[in-house]
Amino acid sequence: MKNKAVEFKNFYYAYNGDELALKNINFGIREGSFTVLLGPSGAGKTTLCKAMAGIIPYYYGGRYAGSVEVLGEDTKGRRVSDIAMKLGLMLEDYESQLVSLTAGEEVSFSLLNHGFPPEEVAERTRKALEDVGLPGRENYQMDELSGGQRQRLLLASVLAVRPRVIVLDEPVSAMDPEGAVSLYKLLYKLYQKYGMTVVVVEHNLDFVLPYITDMIVLQDGQIKAAGCFEEAAEKAYADRELRHLLPALWQVRLELEQREGIRLGSWRNIGEAISELKEKFGRVGL
Amino acid sequence: MKEQETLEKEVELIELPPAKDTHRWVAITALLLAIGVILHTISPNIGGVTPNWTIAMYSITIGLTNPSFPQALGIGFVAGLTLVPSSKSAFPLGNIASELTGAMVAALVVKSMLRMGLANFRFRPYLTGFLATMASGSVFTFILKLILNLPLHVYIYAMLPVVATVAVLNGFITQVLFAPAQKLFFIQGGRKK
């Protein structure tokens, strides 16, 4: 059995003066998984991401119960900056996380704050920019980079710290479909290259379908399903309020399974779906 | 809602205040003092009186962050340094002594009012700006009186009234700018999503 990258145990949380945003959260994210966090707006997905990074409850304050462990260590009593060495967080409003004038300064900012020696900072910065497809852009001003490039720059600054877990909150919400596909391709490449754990909050699962290994479904601050993608998708499909959140291809797959009483493969792209449907239904005359 | 209340009763929740920033006061001080220097350079002289933006800015900073006395000394020292290069007075270094005093008085006013439970007193920024300017101006003009060997009545009847006028003006500026600065810097507290 694989170790848990992040583990929530009986976790509850309420913002100051507000009602519970997360209720009785119990689940673990497998180390080395590509996990998607799914749920309707206001389900508590961003709050859950912040709880993984220790920002909640230890920075924002509020009321809480239970615990969150990152790579086996309780986030309680640990500094957010220390947790960031193990778990990198990229928030939806990525522009607000950019603090420097040039790309190089941006990537090296957190490294310098963590006290890395200058030679290592320069080397890690170069490598991180190269990894995200921005090689040699150290001296580029922020306004010389496009929105997509700035987002990849932020990814580089998270990667430069070399965390074992990376959490991205709706990373493509402001991107066009091509940009979204390209960012997820890049993310998957890095996921494979470094063997890290990736957790993504995403509304449009069509973009990430080829890469998902695990899924967590959240609704009204409660976990509705968690585990391997196939099982969690089936559970979500059983709930009329959640099924529309699944990838279009899987809505078709699960509907067909239900209607025809058959089992279909774990489709990850349209090609796989077509070839299996041809094989199965071609013979029965459909 | 009922379900919420039942759940909260069943689970023992630990209440946690938001984390106290250890360095935010430095950022706020730097930014507001920089704004103060710019305004100090461009603001016109009205009837012989110019508001002292620097004092207003550190009064806001001190009101927002409630720094310790050593921190307030640091704020005053940096504020004084920013005024030295552009000072046209007979003794520019006097600014350092006067701003050290002003910042200490501002810190004293803020701490006293917080201790008296007057944290939400509406005119707290005005009082801080006014008293800090009075203290700073009195020290600065007194240094000038000593250096220029001016008679005491000139200090009392000519210099101090000008200080008081600037103090009234500064109190007003501090009061007006305090709320926007507070909004800008203290957005922490969490947002539901």
CATH code of the domain containing B54: 1.10.1760
Give the rounded percent of residues in chain A with a pLDDT score beyond 90.
73
For residue A24, list chain B residues with Cβ-Cβ distance below 8 A.
11
Cβ <8 Å between A16 and B193: no
> pLDDT, tens digit, for every residue of B9-21?
678 899 988 877 6
Buried b (16+ CB within 10 A) or exposed e, A64-75: bbbebbbbeeeb
Total structural domains in chain B? 1
Most B-contacting residue of A9, A10, A23 (CB-CB within 10 A), to test interface: A23
For residue A12, list chain B residues with Cβ-Cβ distance below 8 A.
7, 11, 13
Check CB contact of B48 with chain A, cutoff 8 Å.
Answer: no
The token pair that represents A218 in the structure block: 């959240």
B48 vs A179 pLDDT, higher one? A179
pLDDT band at B5 (very low <50, low <70, confident <90, very high): low
Position B6 in a domain:
no
For this complex, say whether ipTM is above 0.85: no
Q: What is the pLDDT of residue B187?
A: 54
Cβ <8 Å between B190 and A61: yes
- Domain range for B61 is 24-42+49-188
SS (H, E, C) chain A: CCCEEEEEEEEEEECCCCCEEEEEEEEEEECCCEEEEECCCCCCHHHHHHHHCCHHHHCCCEEEEEEEEECCEECCCCCHHHHCCCEEEECCCHHHHCCCCEHHHHHHHHHHHCCCCHHHHHHHHHHHHHHCCCCCCCCCEHHHCCHHHHHHHHHHHHHCCCCCEEEEECCCCCCCHHHHHHHHHHHHHHHHHHCCEEEEECCCCCCCCCCCCEEEEEECCEEEEEEEHHHHHHHHHHCCCCHHHCCHHHHHHHHHHHHHCCCCCCCCCHHHHHHHHHHHHHHCCC
- Contact between A13 and A57 under an 8 Å Cβ cutoff? The reply is yes
Position B55 in a domain:
yes
pLDDT band at A17 (very low <50, low <70, confident <90, very high): confident
The beta-carbon neighbor of A12 closest among B13, B191, B193 is B13
The average pLDDT across A77-92 equals 90
Position B156 in a domain:
yes
Interface of B with A in 12-31 (CB under 8 A): 12-19
Position B3 in a domain:
no
Q: What is the pLDDT of residue A185?
A: 94
Q: What is the pLDDT of residue A284?
A: 43
Q: How far off is chain A from B36, nearest CA to CA, in Å? A: 23
Task: Find the chain A residues whose C-beta atoms sit closer than 8 A to any C-beta of B.
Answer: 12, 14-16, 18-21, 23-24, 42, 44-47, 56-65
The beta-carbon neighbor of B193 closest among A16, A47, A61 is A47
> pLDDT, tens digit, for every residue of A189-209?
999 999 999 999 998 999 999
Q: Which residues contact B78 (CB under 8 A, 6 or more apart)?
A: B29, B33
> pLDDT, tens digit, for every residue of B150-184?
899 998 998 899 999 999 999 999 999 998 888 77
Give the Cα separation of B72 and A170 in Å (integer): 42
Report the chain A residue with the minimal C-alpha distance to residue B8.
Answer: A20
B173: which DSSP letter?
H
Most B-contacting residue of A9, A11, A20, A91 (CB-CB within 10 A), to test interface: A20
Position B13 in a domain:
no
Q: Is the dihedral of CA A143, A148, A153, A155 positive or negative?
A: positive
Report the chain B residue with the minimal C-alpha distance to residue A17.
Answer: B189
Cβ <8 Å between A16 and B14: no
pLDDT band at B8 (very low <50, low <70, confident <90, very high): low
Q: Which residues contact A226 (CB under 8 A, 6 or more apart)?
A: A27, A214, A215, A216, A217, A232
Position B193 in a domain:
no
The beta-carbon neighbor of B4 closest among A19, A57, A64 is A19
Position B16 in a domain:
no
